[in-house]
Amino acid sequence: MKVLITGASSGLGKQFAKIYYSKGCDLILVARNIDKLNKLKRELELEKSNSKIEIVSLDLSKEENCENLVNRYRDVDILINNAGFGDCGYFDSTSLDKELSMIDTNIIAYHILTKLYLIQMEKRKFGKILNVASIAGFLPGPLMATYYASKSYVVRLSEGVNQELKKKKSSVKISILCPGPVKTNFSSVANVKFKLKEADSSKIAKYTIKKFEKGKFYIVPKFEIKLVRFLAKLVPTSLVSQVVYKVQRKKL
């Protein structure tokens, strides 16, 4: 089994790599930071395993890099789209360059990799895709508008593709992970301080893979995050937006 993980150098991506390496899978670990990737590879190789590990230092905000990645590694059995970052602040004061890079990473890269690997998996009649979104994908996002919108795209794209696969009775499966705050380097990149307790990335990863392997489509760890998603369906969007604004403002 060959597993390709983007955003693999830290956080959830790193934990996913540990889990699949322990399962005897060959890994393709993709991230920008080559030093962190090398460190993770050395750490994993301390375990006795016949699994192979390839590391790829790549900026997925560049479309051509996404396409080259697929051309280089075509026979992937499991794709985990995990690369991404956020930013916090009033929309008229945040960096446009950072937001465009965020869109390229959180949306365009996900779209390209999901589409091109799905095509390959359909040809082989086997494969699984996990798109890492966020509970933010179900909510309006004042003060993190671009990030919330990017995760909403991932949610809606995955939902649409999932229905298509069901109608075609495809053997290829797709899932989305929608966690709340997780202990990663996300908060430092996004310039936020979470008031909610951040979940342990190792526990979230274990829970996710367990549900992913069972074929669950919506993977929403922790009861309080499930509750947020449920309430968001019932409460008017204008009210949800006000609540999110008050929560987000405390992060600034």
Give catalytic residue positions.
Answer: 147
**Cα(175)–Cα(129) distance, rounded to whole angstroms?**
6
**Residue written as token pair 């949800």:** 240
Q: Is residue 81 helix, strand or coil?
A: strand
Contact residues for 241 (Cβ-Cβ < 8 A; gap 6+): 140, 142
Q: What are phi and psi of 151, to 5 degrees?
A: -75, -30
Which stretches of 118-224 are assigned E, i.e. beta strand? 128-132, 173-177, 218-219
Residues forming a β-bridge with 80? 5, 130
| Nearest of 21, 101, 117, 118 to residue 63 by alpha carbon | 101
